[in-house]
Amino acid sequence: MIGPQFSPDFMAQLDLLFRWRRDVRHFDTRPLAAGLLDQLLDQAMHAPSVGYSQPWRFVRVCTPARRNAIIAHVEQENARAASLYEGGQRTAYDALKLHGLKKAPEHLAVFCDIGTATGHHLGRRTMPETLIYSTVIVIHHLWLAARAQQIGLGWVSILDPAKLIELLDIPATWQLVGYLCLGYPAEAADVPELEREGWEKRLDHQHTRLQR
Amino acid sequence: MIGPQFSPDFMAQLDLLFRWRRDVRHFDTRPLAAGLLDQLLDQAMHAPSVGYSQPWRFVRVCTPARRNAIIAHVEQENARAASLYEGGQRTAYDALKLHGLKKAPEHLAVFCDIGTATGHHLGRRTMPETLIYSTVIVIHHLWLAARAQQIGLGWVSILDPAKLIELLDIPATWQLVGYLCLGYPAEAADVPELEREGWEKRLDHQHTRLQR
């Protein structure tokens, strides 16, 4: 046996965490306890990164003017996205709640420093995109760590990264990977919202696997 | 309280899982139990995906000729990568073991179907790269699910995706995201190999955070 062995009870609870990880769009306005966000980020920084590059950078967005400008931008982009659907699909789209930016007590922008020298470029000569991938994984890590402490996370992608970079005044080599809401969920769900609302079904796993 | 509450004991175990997740490059040749890889993939498919697009596609590479061709390709690319370092850094690079492709009982290529219509393009008009990000997250999900069952995973990025696509004969819309080794680890470690070997240090978290 190499390393810790996990009990069947732990694995059942881990499975529960995976199922309840969910993208949360309905938040309570209750703030996170002081220091909790930093603690979650500390935990997320145990994520793997290509060549140990640790390229993730976090920007906590607190200023009301900045939060509001970002919300206005997302609503504008969402209206544009809606206009691409027609008929019943448009009606279905309009009925979906796609972000919880207004109520979520925390907004967190996550960037990848594509100019970092940490890790001395190991492992990313042929696939430089792995630097971004490492940042994606730190977000997923944060998602799970947060959920384990009852905190929901929602990832908002209906936005123009260039606009966010302009609004947040960040270093030139940082590339936006995700804009996140965090807070206590206002409703319970262990099924994806888009599945509950009939937008899309769970894919049959047989369609995702080949052997060579 | 919304959804399940996790105990302090579970959270301590989860932290242990996060620390032991590690990129594994030293494998035992013992095969995975029949059906275990499929079970881990089933669990990984609870990963989030943009607009519920579920774009992940998995190719289990079993044929010895294909495995060997991929190993030969990675060794060639690794020699090229090594040639970019000089002096002491070259010596340090050469001493690193960067993949466990030869001994690992399972090779798994993970693709993103960038042509998928699942999810009806929701959430990815302004950031189409989120489709790839969803596939990155399914890999991290698999990594954690595997480690909870004592299975180590190593992500190999020292390769040319175009070469892999040629060797594996896969559908035209599938983009390679990661090439993975899976198997029982042959050594115990809860510290990244590149940190143990002195290649790079853990980043001070204060350098990764801003407030706006």
Q: Kindly report the CATH number assigned to the domain that includes residue B65.
A: 3.40.109.10
Sign of CA dihedral B189, A8, B8, B136: positive
A148 closest CA partner among B137, B145, B13, B48: B13
In terms of C-beta density within 10 A (0-12 exposed, 13-18 middle, 19 or more buried), how is residue B71 classed? middle
How far is residue A83's CA from residue A158's CA, in Å, rounded to a whole number? 13
Q: Which residues of A touch B15 (CB under 8 A)?
A: 43
Give the tokens for residue A128. Answer: 């430089």
CB contact under 8 A, B23 and A48: yes
A119-161 tens-digit pLDDT: 999 999 999 999 999 999 999 999 999 999 999 999 999 999 9
Residue B122 lies in a domain: yes
DSSP state of A20: H
Residue A212 lies in a domain: no
Residue B62 lies in a domain: yes
Contact A157, A27 (CB under 8 A): no
Residue B29 lies in a domain: yes
B45-101 tens-digit pLDDT: 999 999 999 999 999 999 999 999 999 999 999 999 999 999 999 999 999 999 999
Q: Which of A42, A139, A194 sits opposite B51 (nearest CB)?
A: A194
State the ipTM, two decimals: 0.96
Give the number of domains in chain B.
1
Residue B3 binned pLDDT confidence (cut-offs 50, 70, 90): confident
Residue B30 lies in a domain: yes
CB contact under 8 A, A133 and B19: no
CB contact under 8 A, A2 and B122: no
Contact A134, A50 (CB under 8 A): yes
Q: Which of A7, A122, A194, A207 to mutate to test the interface with B (most CBs of B within 10 A)?
A: A122
CB pairs under 8 A between A and B: 283
At residue B162's C-alpha, the angle toward residues B160 and B164, to 5°, is 75
CB contact under 8 A, B170 and A210: yes
- As a whole-number percent, the residues of chain A with pLDDT over 70 amount to 100
Three-state DSSP state, A186: coil
Structure confidence at residue B199 (pLDDT): 93
Structure confidence at residue B187 (pLDDT): 87
A103 closest CA partner among A196, A194, A185: A185
CB contact under 8 A, A209 and B52: no
Structure confidence at residue B6 (pLDDT): 96
Structure confidence at residue A1 (pLDDT): 61
Q: Which of A4, A14, A98 sits opposite B20 (nearest CB)?
A: A4
Residue A1 lies in a domain: no
CA B162 from centroid of its chain's CA atoms: 18
- Evaluate if residue A2 carries a pLDDT over 80: no
Structure confidence at residue A185 (pLDDT): 95
Q: Which residues of B touch A61 (CB under 8 A)?
A: 212
Mean pLDDT across chain B:
95
Q: How many H-runs (helices) and E-runs (strands) does chain A carry? A: 7, 5
How far is residue B32's CA from residue B153's CA, in Å, rounded to a whole number? 12
In chain A, beta strands by DSSP E: 56-61, 106-113, 152-156, 174-183, 209-211
For B211, the closest chain A residue by CA position comes to A60
Average confidence (pLDDT) over B189-206? 89
Residue B108 binned pLDDT confidence (cut-offs 50, 70, 90): very high
| Domain limits for position A188 | 24-197
Structure confidence at residue A3 (pLDDT): 85
Structure confidence at residue A188 (pLDDT): 85
How far is residue A95's CA from residue A114's CA, in Å, rounded to a whole number? 38
How far CA A48 is from CA of A56, B47, B203, in Å, comes to 11, 17, 13
Structure confidence at residue B1 (pLDDT): 61
Length of chain A equals: 212
A51-91 tens-digit pLDDT: 999 999 999 999 999 999 999 999 999 999 999 999 999 99
Contacts of A126 by beta carbon, 8 Å cutoff, 6+ apart: B77, B81, B157, B158, B159, B160, B161
Average confidence (pLDDT) over A15-36? 95
How far is residue B21's CA from residue B45's CA, in Å, rounded to a whole number? 18
Q: Which of B47, B126, B209 sits opposite A77 (nearest CB)?
A: B126
Q: Which of A93, A125, A145 sits opposite B84 (nearest CB)?
A: A125
At residue B103, what is the residue type?
Answer: K
Residue B1 lies in a domain: no
Residue B120 lies in a domain: yes
